Structure 1
């Protein structure tokens, strides 16, 4: 008992994955799998939203 809510969530996620359509860039996937590099720099977030919560390093 008590599994109803978890099972409902799993069913919802499975249904969402089954019926949602995704635009997949198969060319980019192939380049990534073959290890080819691109001229585009990786997107890096300049500001970490959690950095304000970290303790300063101790020396």
Structure 2
């Protein structure tokens, strides 16, 4: 099958993005791309390894 329908949709989306008159919030875009403070990444020090102690080699004996 041809890709006519998919290409038409891509063209429509590209045209919409190109000629859109709304202001773009570049700050929000940067936060989304770089990982804003809304979803902090858990550091290795914050992980509670006590939960996994049941699965260690010593407890299998």
TM bracket, shorter-chain basis: 0.3 to 0.5
Q: Which has the higher helix share?
A: 2
Greater gyration radius: 2
TM-score if structure 2 supplies the norm length? 0.38
